Structure 1
Amino acid sequence: MSDVVQVVTDIVQPILDGHKFQLVDIEYVKEGHSWYLRVYIDKPGGIDIEECAMVSEQLSEQLDQLDPDPIPQAYFLEVSSPGAERPLKTETDIQNAIGEYVHISLYQQVHNAKIFEGTLVSVDQNQLTLELKDKTRKIQRTFQRDNIAKIRLAIEF
């Protein structure tokens, strides 16, 4: 499966670069009896459905021309926005999220909790700092990066 992701990455990246879009993630998964190739793209200000359709058409054309076919089974191609609460998968994603409201899940509890939401204040190689709301005041908490299971953008309520 990782071979498929790499082949698709190599094909889609120049398409995205030409339009100044960002590749967020690629998934190649089996759900039920069907295979899905999902390509998540974004740009500052968000991506719209017409832009997703354009990338889908260009990617589909290029995938159809490959011989031998790197994806031998039938699959559904989906090109979409990662959504408002998208995961932050790369170092660039995390750096670009400084100042944004994020959700983190931890492997091990810190301050009796494994889930935190707050504004990402700073990031370095070993840790990241969030500004959290604690009743009526704001506090900063620092988390070790090797204890972070997942990090994603979040919507603040």
Structure 2
Amino acid sequence: MSAAPRTDPVATRMAGLVAPVVEAAGYDLEELVVTPAGRRSIVRVVVDRDAGVTLDDVAEVSRAVSTALDEHDGEFGSAPYVLEVTSPGVDRPLTEPRHWRRNTGRLVTVAVGREGSSEQVTARVLEVDGDGVTLAVEAKGKPGAKKRPPTRRQVPWQELGAGRVQVEFGRPEAGGDSEQHDQPDPAEDDDDGGGQ
């Protein structure tokens, strides 16, 4: 059972200090949450960028944020804290244009349409621009029935709900041939001890 996140003035001031440090390192601050945990607090900083976030990136941002917080130590109270820097998980809702752009090619579920008359669709994100998102909407059908090809649909931002990325196993390659996995891999030579 976890404690409820704090959205108090301390967390707000901390976000004001951390955001410029994260942005200077070339990342977007997606979320900063301060959660009480006994005598300590957990400061969770979620960062992202278009190129994605690696473990080295997390370490770099963690050092920069830690240094900034240490320099302003007295401003956030005397309780010790644990700093967690992470990237967003696939369960993060897609709410900002940058979230959609970073998930181009992924399968999502999203409510589309005007308020009061929206429908839930499963679609692949094809393109993202200033007007909205272009989706390849999968046709609904009965289980076991032959799948119809997806329908291309341009959805303006004001008609787009929060999307959720769907986890796919064996995700299709863009323009790739799904039969390629049957081809022998030249790197997988039999190791029979024979030389050439």
Deviation, 1:20, is 1.9
Q: Where in structure 2 are the equivalents of 1:16-55 lying within 5 Å? A: 16-30=22-36, 35-55=41-61
Deviation, 1:139, is 0.9
Q: Which amino acid aligns with 1:103?
A: V
Give the counterpart of 1:15 among 21, 39, 55: 21
Q: Which amino acid aligns with 2:135?
A: L
CA pair 10-100 structure 1, distance change in 2 beyond 3 A: farther
Deviation, 1:86, is 4.2
Summarize deviations over 1:10-69 as a string: whole Å, max 9, x none: 323333333322322222335788643211112333222222122212212221232642
- How many residue pairs match? The answer is 152
Kept in 2, the 8 Å contact 1:28–1:38? The answer is yes
Q: TM-score, normalised by structure 1?
A: 0.66
Q: Where in structure 2 are there 5+ consecutive unaligned residues?
A: 1-6, 140-146, 172-196
Q: TM-score, normalised by structure 2?
A: 0.56
Kept in 2, the 8 Å contact 1:41–1:80? The answer is yes
Q: Where in structure 2 are the equivalents of 1:76-95 lying within 5 Å? A: 76-84=82-90, 86-94=92-100
CA pair 39-115 structure 1, distance change in 2 beyond 3 A: farther
Q: Where in structure 2 are the equivalents of 1:107-122 lying within 5 Å? A: 110-111=118-119, 114=120, 116-121=122-127
> Structure 1 vs Structure 2: percent identity of aligned residues?
22
Give the counterpart of 1:101 among 87, 97, 106: 106
Q: In angstroms, what is the RMSD of aligned CA positions? A: 3.6
- The SS at the match of 2:163 is strand
Q: Is 1:136 aligned with 2:148?
A: yes
Q: Where in structure 2 are the equivalents of 1:137-156 lying within 5 Å? A: 137-141=149-153, 145=158, 148=161, 150-156=162-168
Give the counterpart of 2:68 among 62, 71, 77: 62
Q: Where in structure 1 are there 5+ consecutive unaligned residues?
A: none
Deviation, 1:123, is 6.0
Summarize deviations over 1:107-148 as a string: whole Å, max 9, x none: 86745xx353422545666x6542122223111346674672
Kept in 2, the 8 Å contact 1:102–1:151? The answer is no
Kept in 2, the 8 Å contact 1:97–1:120? The answer is no
- The SS at the match of 2:29 is strand
Higher RCO, 1 or 2 (CA under 8 Å, sep at least 6)?
1
Structure with the higher strand share, 1 or 2: 1
